[in-house]
């Protein structure tokens, strides 16, 4: 008779430093169905932005958006939930967990979505009859709740620990991760699945359009221009990211591997207008200083910052000023980039998707480029990796998120000093945009060359 597998049991508290680590990552966006395809698209500057059309349900509203086009017709009606499920399945598989040894009542979930896809409610009855929901799909009365993805994912994977869902706009992804880490630190859970998903909904697209913050350009892929003096707004996008968190000692004892350690996190509020930022950048610079203090980087600072970088004047100027104020002289050596020119602004999911990308940057020693940046904003004189990434040793990184409602959030990541725990770095895509490899060309010329090569022209 075989012995029953022993459930993972580890000391709840330790006097030794035992950080929370990321041991699994799953991604699903307009540029890829999984983690590595999304990461390679960012390396090559492959854009997922196109113009919306009637098939998307946006009658008369044709705007650049990062739309996920690779789902089937049923899944497209349930995008937020489906994208969450895809990313969650990949993250849990990536963590290589022996489920026979898991106490599922100590497996937490912290998953956020802005709101569900309520498009099924107002579809023409004949269309609903033509495409009835499969029996295994969530019903509409579940789908439209903001907590739908959180509940459905936890039920699908049998996660019976604490379950949370946050609605803090563009800060939701990072706050979901912070909450998940806290549940592990407080000994409520051994593992946590955390992240966020979002879709481009006609209501939010129309609202942002009316607000006058959405970018447009004759070439949709060039519409979003973070940190560029010629910026004219942001573009919305769709996608999801899920992370598996646990303590480093927990991961070590079960034989897992990690992408990065959570070195510190912080969240502050702005006492401003609901959509306004602090013009003097005091709150955001204080956040950056706090992150470096909590991560114990006072005299080092980050090697890389994955910025919020929306491509609006208010965000870009405030963020660049805050980086200079927060890091002072250390800002001369940091590199900064935004992923939104390629993926769009994933609103609720932006923080978790970009946090996952930051962890991959640490793994491979590559800071991805800020695409469409041809005339860099001089505010703060920060290196924003105009149209070319940089390959170098990256040990410390910050992820920043700013959100309507006054949420200012950041997270510090660092590589593990234990080489036995680190994920092996992967080679860059052969078409990766790397500064130095294209040194004889201007950034814009280099990108044009890469795009021509990828299109076969």
Total domains in the chain come to: 2
Residue 4 included in any domain: no
Residue 6 included in any domain: no
**Same domain membership, residue 339 and residue 238:** no
Most distant CA atoms of the chain, gap in Å = 71
Tokens representing residue 456 in the block: 């076969």
**pLDDT tens per residue across span 288-342:** 999 999 999 988 999 999 999 999 888 899 899 999 999 999 999 999 999 999 9
Amino acid 122: pLDDT:
47
Amino acid 453: pLDDT:
44
Q: Alpha-carbon Rg of the chain, whole angstroms? A: 21
Residue 7 included in any domain: no
Distance CA 81, CA 75 (A): 9
Find the domain containing 342 and state its range.
Answer: 264-417+424-455
Nearest alpha carbon to residue 43 among 435, 310, 320, 349:
435
The DSSP 8-state label assigned to residue 190 in this structure reads S
Contact assessment for residue 22 and residue 230, using Cβ atoms and an 8 Å cutoff? no
**Same domain membership, residue 224 and residue 177:** yes
Amino acid 208: pLDDT:
85
Amino acid 417: pLDDT:
84
**Same domain membership, residue 292 and residue 174:** no
The CATH number assigned to the domain holding 340 equals 3.40.47.10
Residue 451 included in any domain: yes
Residue 318 included in any domain: yes
**Same domain membership, residue 278 and residue 248:** no
**Same domain membership, residue 126 and residue 31:** yes
Amino acid 249: pLDDT:
92
Distance CA 80, CA 138 (A): 12
Last residue of a domain, one of 254, 289, 320: 254
Residue length, the chain?
A: 457
**Same domain membership, residue 103 and residue 83:** yes
**Same domain membership, residue 242 and residue 301:** no
**Same domain membership, residue 95 and residue 122:** yes
Nearest alpha carbon to residue 81 among 41, 19, 140:
140
Distance CA 229, CA 258 (A): 38
Nearest alpha carbon to residue 216 among 52, 414, 367, 351:
52
Last residue of a domain, one of 212, 234, 254: 254
Q: Which alpha helices (H) appear in 131-198, and where do they start and end?
A: 140-143, 148-157, 172-185
Residue 10 included in any domain: no
Tokens representing residue 48 in the block: 């997922």
| Sheet of strand 163-164: strand arrangement | 163-164, 107-113, 191-198, 239-247, 20-29, 260-269, 407-414, 396-403, 304-306, 335-337
DSSP, residue by residue, 292-355: HHHTT-TTT--SEEE----S-HHHHHHHHHHHHHHHGGGGGT-EEE-SHHHH-B-GGGHHHHHH
Amino acid 404: pLDDT:
65
Residue 354 included in any domain: yes
**Buried b / exposed e along 72-84 (16+ C-beta atoms within 10 A):** eeebbbbbbbbbb
Amino acid 41: pLDDT:
98
Last residue of a domain, one of 254, 277, 305: 254
Q: Which alpha helices (H) appear in 47-171, and where do they start and end?
A: 73-76, 79-94, 125-130, 140-143, 148-157
Q: Measured between alpha carbons, how far is residue 34 from residues 53, 90, 177, 203, 371 in Å? A: 25, 7, 20, 28, 21
**Same domain membership, residue 102 and residue 59:** yes
**Same domain membership, residue 270 and residue 208:** no
Positions of the chain with pLDDT under 70 = 1-6, 8-15, 74, 76-77, 114-145, 168-169, 270-281, 403-406, 437-457
Q: Measured between alpha carbons, how far is residue 438 from residues 230, 313, 369, 388, 433 in Å? A: 24, 29, 13, 9, 8
Residue 14 included in any domain: no
Tokens representing residue 254 in the block: 């079960």
Q: How far is CA 215 from the centre of its chain?
A: 21
**Same domain membership, residue 397 and residue 442:** yes
**Same domain membership, residue 359 and residue 213:** no
């Amino acid at each position: 008779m075989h012995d029953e597998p022993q459930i993972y049991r580890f000391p709840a508290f330790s006097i030794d430093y035992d950080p929370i680590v990321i041991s699994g990552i799953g991604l699903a966006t307009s540029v890829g169905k999984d983690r590595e395809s999304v990461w390679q698209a960012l390396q090559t500057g492959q854009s997922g932005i196109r113009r919306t059309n009637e098939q998307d349900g946006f009658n008369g509203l044709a705007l650049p958006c990062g739309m996920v086009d690779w789902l089937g017709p049923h899944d497209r009606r349930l995008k937020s939930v489906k994208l969450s499920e895809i990313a969650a399945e990949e993250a849990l598989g990536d963590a290589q967990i022996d489920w026979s040894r898991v106490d599922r009542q100590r497996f937490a979930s912290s998953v956020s979505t802005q709101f569900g896809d309520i498009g099924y409610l107002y579809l023409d009855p004949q269309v609903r009859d033509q495409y009835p929901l499969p029996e295994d799909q969530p019903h509409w009365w579940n789908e439209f709740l903001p907590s739908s993805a959180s509940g459905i994912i936890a039920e699908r994977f049998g996660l019976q620990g604490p379950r949370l869902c946050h609605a803090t706009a563009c800060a939701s992804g990072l706050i979901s991760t912070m909450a998940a880490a806290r549940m592990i630190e407080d000994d409520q859970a051994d593992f946590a699945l955390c992240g966020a998903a979002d879709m481009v909904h006609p209501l939010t697209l129309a609202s942002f359009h009316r607000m006058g913050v959405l970018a447009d350009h004759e070439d949709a892929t060039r519409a979003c221009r973070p940190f560029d003096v010629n910026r004219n707004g942001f573009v919305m996008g769709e996608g999801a990211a899920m992370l598996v968190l646990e303590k480093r000692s927990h991961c070590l004892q079960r034989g897992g591997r990690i992408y990065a350690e959570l070195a510190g996190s912080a969240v502050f509020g702005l006492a401003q207008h609901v959509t306004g930022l602090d013009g003097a950048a005091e709150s955001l610079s204080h956040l950056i200083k706090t992150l470096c203090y909590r991560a114990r980087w006072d005299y080092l600072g980050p090697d890389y910052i994955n910025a919020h970088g929306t491509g609006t004047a208010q965000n870009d100027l405030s963020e660049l000023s805050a980086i200079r104020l927060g890091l002072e002289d250390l800002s001369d050596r940091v590199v900064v980039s935004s992923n939104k020119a390629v993926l769009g602004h994933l609103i609720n999911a932006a923080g978790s998707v970009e946090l996952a990308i930051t962890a991959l940057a640490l793994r491979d020693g590559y800071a991805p480029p800020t695409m469409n940046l041809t005339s860099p904003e001089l505010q703060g004189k920060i290196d924003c990796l105009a149209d070319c990434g940089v390959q170098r040793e990256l040990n410390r990184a910050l992820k920043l998120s700013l959100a309507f409602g006054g949420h200012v959030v950041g997270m510090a990541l660092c590589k593990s000093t234990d080489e036995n725990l680190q994920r092996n770095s992967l080679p860059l895509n052969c078409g990766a945009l790397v500064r130095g490899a294209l040194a004889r060309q201007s950034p814009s010329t280099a990108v044009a060359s890469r795009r021509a090569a990828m299109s076969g022209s």
